[in-house]
Structure 1
Amino acid sequence: MSTAQAHDFATAATPLSEPRPEIAVRLDGVLKRFGDSIALQKVSLKIHEGEFITLLGPSGCGKTTLLNLIAGFAEADTGEIFIDNQLVTDTPPYQREIGIVFQNYALFPHMSVTKNVGYGLRMRGVPKAEINERVAQALELVKLHGYGERKPSELSGGQQQRVALARALVIRPKVLLLDEPFSALDKNLRLSMQIELKEIQRKLGVTTVFVTHDQSEALSMSDRVVVMSAGHIRQIGDPDTIYRRPEDPFVASFVGDVNILPGRYMSHDDQATLEISGNSLRLPKERVQAKVGDRLDIHVRPENIQLDNLGPHSLLSATVVAHAFQGDHVDIHLHVPSLGDSRLFVRQSGLNSLRRWPVGAVAGLTFDDEGVCAFTAADQT
């Protein structure tokens, strides 16, 4: 597909003389119950035009419920939902101008690829000649030119996923919704599809809401990430902020790998002074969500712990107990006597780490404060 065709494909449904609003989707105080259980707790969220935003959280956190509310597959008990600045809280799904890709693709097995992709256009009464042109453009966009006459059973999982994506995009939706679309794919195919999807989304500029429980997927693909837990939004931010500046202990522990150490908030001046096993650690005050005197859970990313010869500069002393070789990095597991039974792990690149720090070696630990934050201890809140 040429650049001009891609532009036409993305913008034909919206006249250039009518600029679209900056906020593509807005939820105001949306609450959803299932029986006695509250799935969403008065959620408010603004999604910008052309943004790729990911709803991230564990199973049962409410992310798919939120997606279904935007799609119109579920009804909010209270609150309002707007798409393109139009109130759609009570609008049926087929009138919301959304495209959706399900986890299982939901292709019609008896229809060809061409028929599957053109289904939504036929239901909208689009003329046959226009359907043929738009389906051909959509299949070229997802790199399935020449596959139009095949049935879904004749396609690989990745190809079926592309058909589902083409079907969602061919209607030129105002919002594209994706419910864990890569969960059935193997790792390598999943990674390549992530790249392809992001390229397509950028080319078309379509507002996209993506649901996943995979942290690396969310961090690598998103303009912003919405971290959810137990029906609440815990934090919204760009991937770097979510990873490096978590606002609460759930986000700090759920997004990425982390070590959690016990400590205490001793004092602060221009920085905060924390105590760990009788030693002091200085941090920027904004990275400590607690009061002076509180016991702390100190979260430290494994890549921000440095191993060196034990000396007066060391914050902690540790003994190497195991290695986990991961290809591009090594996780070195450590026993820290001053922390009792607690174990830490350090992430380092290269095989030199295995040779320098064999099992049984004693090392001194220091922390790069870029990967450290602290919260009032969970058993104290």
Structure 2
Amino acid sequence: MRKILINVVSFLFVLVFLFSCSEIPQAPKVIPPDPTGTTKPSLTGYVTTDIYGSVDKQPTLVPIAVPDPVRVKLSLPGVENILSSELRVFEDNKEQGFILYKESSLRNKLDIAIILDVTGSMGTAIEGAKNSIISFANSLSSSGLDARIGVIPYDDYVNPPKDIDVDPGFLNLTSPASAQEYVASLYAGNGGDWPENPYDAIMFAATAVNWRPGAQRVMIIITDANAHYKDDGTDFAHFTKAEMLPALIGFFTIHGAFIPGWTYNSAQTDFSAQDDVRELCQKTGGVIKYTDTFGNVNLNDLGIVEYVTSSWIVTFESDSPAATHTIEVFYTSGEDKKYMKIENAAY
């Protein structure tokens, strides 16, 4: 009898183990119907700080019952849990039924490309990046995420930059420790004119880096200078922001650490100028931060880990035939009220 019992228990153990290792098909999630007879809340009391978002176009593992749902990446750094009842979502002024899931529960890999200005005015910032990258890597490791880091140094040129001697010209995604070694080899070159070429560096990262399938894709740009752009009177850059944004929105989140000065400062709110990199951060749902006046960069201060671990995917079914859309999200939890608006969203 004891032998039979042991065999039965062993069989059940093996069965449970095999079940846990197998890929069990998931039933498609059903988006609830849109609420009817509702109006948008008044914006009184809502703030637009510490809430970020963009349309999400990366593949998802969550099966949805409609063929082409709209997904919005929503991040509320510092908020560990969100209930569906705490969100209201509007598309083109019409409230939407939606489903909600935490992004890191499915995309638990994190790929980061650091886009680093290596011109002379960035000397202190480069040292700050060198000193910061190990603690940043430790933060990523302690978060439980599978993190890889790449580095793209640039001046007026990319891969390699012209004003420093670096081999290789960029570092593809690798371990945080290897990224630290590469950054330690970088230094500040001369530069030349004031604008630099972050647009080519960003597009190079988007196309040349070996981004892993299923990973959250993040870029961090560190600079104090405005950007060269196509047709700005030089031959350095090959892109305008209008050409870049369709390839970036929904696929990458770009965060920025900007050294304050006459080019960038926190008092500015209009980032639409052709040479202002911050609009790329804003429209991809990224964080915009400013270093101290000496250009010391602490990547942990960007809140990337908090951003990643506090990101959700809001999924709804569009019923609007418009080419572009306005999406609004209202978050209310007790006295905490936040509002996010995405304009000219293309699906």
Do the two structures share a fold, i.e. TM-score over 0.5? Answer: no
Select the structure that is richer in strand: 1
Q: Which has the larger radius of gyration?
A: 1
Select the structure that is richer in helix: 1
